[in-house]
Structure 1
Amino acid sequence: MGKPIQQQLFTEYILSNKENYYRLAYSYVKNKDDALDIVHESICKAMISLNQLKKAEEIKPWFYRIVVNTSIDFIRKHKPIELVNEGTLEFYNPVEDTYQNLDLHKALDSLPPNYRSIIILRYFEDLKIKDIATILDENVNTVKTRLYSALKKLRLQLKD
């Protein structure tokens, strides 16, 4: 009887927070379809291992962790392959980017993945440091240190 209630709670939680998870996945892959695939795959992974969830209040950090790990796995599997040389790019006329703050997004993309994850979870998803530590399976002090290092790197990049 516990399992159907757990599934129902999980379903309600996912439905009420789906935009957050899509936005999180999109912040990693910068592609609508890939972000949707990541969210879908994350939900499938979560449904398979739903019995590992002990308490209802653990759903949020547990599922964030699944989405983050699935996003990172996706990036690893789909690393871009350079097919053109610099000379070819001179003739390429890209469509205007729609980011509101392109410099910030470029600076974020240049951070190592573990730093970028912390910045995204803290400032874009508005999570507490304790929750970020749980999601990333890191010590709270490690998360704080990486957060401050990441902010310092961002400040330096944005100054230039």
Structure 2
Amino acid sequence: MNNLDDLKSLNTELNIVYRYLRKLKISHEDAEDIVQETAYKFLQYYDSIRTPKIRSWLIRVAINYHHDQYRKNNRVMLDLKEDQVKTLLKDLPEEILLSNERLSDIEYILSKLKPTYRELLLLKYIWDLKYDEISEILDMKVNTVKTSLFRARKQFAKLYREANR
């Protein structure tokens, strides 16, 4: 990483990681901290990184760092919009989506899911990514993504039904 073009390219990739983190509803300050830590790790391990897909590596490092911080702080803020929730719950009746109480219930349920499940649901239904794109970002096989996403939807539906009895 010696020339100016490499630094510009890294900056561009880090901006994409930042926007991705913000889409996950991570606060501006936290996203900046995560990107800074990701950039530091990239510069620290640049010589040993073997993947040609640097963006995937950066996103994976950023997500892992976020999960580590989440486990330390045991908090997450999700601020979903009604249309995003409808996408997640398109098989459930529309009247469930009408009240703001339901939106907070859904955010609460998403916060109760394992971070991997929550991440999969957000990547698939909020970001509208394809299975192969998700597998690249999360460094999983496509079949593992499909299976995990099925389990995530099932777990979400179960928790949702339990919360609304």
The TM-score range, normalised by the shorter chain, is: 0.5 to 0.7
Indicate yes or no: 2:70 matched with 1:71: no
Aligned residues: 137
Tell whether the 8 Å contact from 2:124 to 2:130 is kept in structure 1 after alignment: yes
Q: What is the aligned partner in structure 2 of residue 86 from structure 1?
A: none
Tell whether the 8 Å contact from 1:20 to 1:125 is kept in structure 2 after alignment: no
Q: What is the aligned partner in structure 2 of residue 46 from structure 1?
A: 42
Question: Taking structure 2 as the reference length, what is the TM-score of the superposition?
Answer: 0.66
After superposition, where does 1:149-160 map in structure 2 within 5 Å? 149-159=151-161, 160=164
**Aligned letter for 2:63?**
V
Q: What is the aligned partner in structure 2 of residue 9 from structure 1?
A: 9
Q: What is the aligned partner in structure 1 of residue 124 from structure 2?
A: 122
Structure with more relative contact order (C-alpha pairs < 8 Å, separation 6 or more)? 1
**Against the structure 1 CA distance between its residues 133 and 98, is the aligned structure 2 distance closer, same or farther, given a 3 Å change threshold?**
closer
Q: What is the aligned partner in structure 1 of residue 24 from structure 2?
A: 24
**Aligned letter for 1:9?**
S
* Partner SS state of residue 49, structure 1: helix
- Structure 2: stretches of 5+ with no match in the other structure: 82-102
1:109 to partner: Cα distance? 0.8
After superposition, where does 1:48-63 map in structure 2 within 5 Å? 48-51=44-47, 52=49, 54-55=51-52, 58-63=53-58
**Aligned letter for 1:127?**
L
- Structure 1: stretches of 5+ with no match in the other structure: 81-96
1:99 to partner: Cα distance? 5.3
Percent identity of equivalent pairs: 28
Question: Taking structure 1 as the reference length, what is the TM-score of the superposition?
Answer: 0.68
Instruction: Please tell me the root mean square deviation across aligned C-alpha atoms, in Å.
Output: 2.8
* Partner SS state of residue 126, structure 1: coil
**Against the structure 1 CA distance between its residues 124 and 53, is the aligned structure 2 distance closer, same or farther, given a 3 Å change threshold?**
farther
Tell whether the 8 Å contact from 2:34 to 2:65 is kept in structure 1 after alignment: yes
**Against the structure 1 CA distance between its residues 110 and 138, is the aligned structure 2 distance closer, same or farther, given a 3 Å change threshold?**
same
1:146 to partner: Cα distance? 0.9
Q: What is the aligned partner in structure 1 of residue 111 from structure 2?
A: 109
